Amino acid sequence: MAPPRKGEGKALGTVSGSLLITGFGPFPRVPDNPSARVARRLAGLPHLRRILGQAPDCLVMDARYAALDTQLAPAFANNPAAVLMIGVAASRRRVCVETRAVNRVSRLFPDAGGAVSHRLALEPGAPALRRSPAAQAVQVALERAGLDVAASRDAGRYLCNASYFRVLAQGRPAVFLHIPMPPRTKRPVRAGRPHHDPEAWVAAFAEAARVLMMRARRS
């Protein structure tokens, strides 16, 4: 893991509410979702707790549409100051910063419980899309931390997009990070390829968390 940069160890000061970190449990074709492991690993970093001045909350959601109401909504009862969301996109080759979520859902892909949406809009009457004002700053932070990252305008039509659309409605600093599937081999990742290394993701995502909480403090 990369050593802290100068000034990283300083707490951000008092912020009303903690950081909420989310990941997902298994879903069809992904029985072991790496986003859950990365989310838990990040939330447990002593270094991140020192930076934030408090321990972040961690929520690993079921990959079911019902989880938006039964798990995600209750998490906001704790009034998180900012939200860092992590999901897996098997087709991606590097970490992607999702810049927006759209008010659309696919009828083709069932959730982990076999349920398929019966409507095309996530929230009828809501805007067609919601953007993350924090996405660009988070991308810059990840690049400075050494990750090869890309901005993305497509968070999918599944739970990643649905949960992001719901979170962005809250008006808190929030961003969704899609990670690729980690290598299946247990051999060390070759030098110079941190975008394939979950440990490098965790270290860099701590920087993303710091940026989100800084924005929360300013607001």
98 is known as an active-site residue:
yes
Catalytic residue among 58, 96, 178, 195: 178
3-state secondary structure the chain: CCCCCCCCCCCCCCCCCCEEEEEECCECCECCCHHHHHHHHHHCCHHHHHHHCCCCEEEEECCCCCHHHHHHHHHHHHCCCEEEEEEECCCCCCEEEECEEECCCCCCCCCCCCCCCCCCCCCCCCCCEEECCCHHHHHHHHHHCCCCEEEECCCCCCHHHHHHHHHHCCCCCEEEEEECCCCCCCCCCCCCCHHHCHHHHHHHHHHHHHHHHHHHHHC
195 is known as an active-site residue:
no
96 is known as an active-site residue:
no
Catalytic residue among 58, 160, 195, 207: 160
Q: Amino acid identity, residue 114?
A: G
Residues 6+ apart with CB under 8 A from 190: none
Catalytic residue among 96, 98, 195, 196: 98
Enumerate the active-site residues.
Answer: 98, 160, 178
